[in-house]
Structure formats: C-alpha cells, structure tokens
Amino acid sequence: MIPSAIILSAAIGASLMLVSIVLVRLTRRSSTLPLDNPEFQDFAGSLSMTIIVIPADLSGILYASPGFRGIFDMDPSEVDFRRLKGFIHEDDAESLESALQAGRSSSFEIEFRILRKGETHWIHMRGFPVPGKRA
C-alpha cells in the first residue's frame, strides 16, 4: 500500500504555535484531500494551528492555512522542502529530510530549528503515513 498522505504535527517556540503538515501523494486527476472544498478551507482557517499540504516529492506547498506566515514568516509559495538552505538550520536539514522521507512508511518524531526574522526557533514535529490506493 502506498501512502496517500503523511500527516505531520509540529509546535514552535515557547508560545507553542502549532502546525500540521499533510504530505500528499497526488494522482494525475486530483489529490486525495478536498483542498478546494470551501468547507475544508473554512475548517482549516478556523483552527488555532496551521495546516500545510505538501506533495510527496517535497517540491512546495499546495495549501497552507492562514497561520502559516505567523510561524514561518514567509509566503507558502517560497517554500521548497527539497532545498532547505536558509529556511531550516543547516545542522538540522539532513535529519529533517530523512524524517520526511521515512514518514512515507512509518511514524516519526523530530525536533529541528527554523530560521525566522533572523532568529532561531525550535519546531517539534510528529508524522505518520496515511494509507492510500496503489499508484
């Protein structure tokens, strides 16, 4: 079974801002999540955490709820998880990349640092695969 998504939850800093990241395996026709559904967008926007949907190839962000900017201090279109330099602390980039790759087949938990407004902030992230249809 190939995972259709990897669900990640993360928290940042002392104020415990939360972010949930959903790593999605896309088909040619559509994603496995209702990203364009107004009810989904209303739900995601009403949470006190951020939901982020990224493709399985880590190439960018397909959807980010309104709280994304407050946590990462950047526009979602600027993020490419394949190129973490300048976004993730250089000492943590390799371990984060390994964790995201491993998250396709097993649960994981990781702490890493992001660089935001010239300051370093810690993120605690947990992830697990969501079973999907074979591609």
pLDDT at 55: 67
Comparing C-alpha atoms, which of 13, 11, 8 is closest to residue 117? 13
Identity of residue 111:
E
62 phi, psi to nearest 5 deg: -85, -35
Identity of residue 84:
L
Residue-range definition of the domain harbouring residue 106: 3-131
Comparing C-alpha atoms, which of 134, 112, 40, 35 is closest to residue 76? 35
Structure tokens at 97: 């990349």
What is the pLDDT tens value at each position of the chain, 135 positions in all? 444 455 555 554 444 344 455 544 444 344 455 677 777 777 777 766 667 766 666 677 777 777 777 777 778 777 766 666 677 888 998 898 888 878 777 778 888 888 877 888 887 777 766 555 434
Question: For residue range 66-93, what is the model confidence (pLDDT) as tens digits?
Answer: 777 777 777 877 776 666 667 788 899 8
* pTM flag (> 0.75): no
| Torsion sign over Cα 83, 51, 114, 95 | negative
Structural domains counted in the chain:
1
Q: Is there a contact between 127 and 7 (Cβ–Cβ < 8 Å)?
A: yes
pLDDT at 83: 62
- Per DSSP, which regions of 13-87 are E strands? 17-24, 49-55, 63-64
45 phi, psi to nearest 5 deg: -70, -20
Q: Which CATH number goes with the domain that contains 115?
A: 3.30.450
The DSSP secondary-structure symbol of 101 reads H
CB atoms within 10 A of CB 101: 13
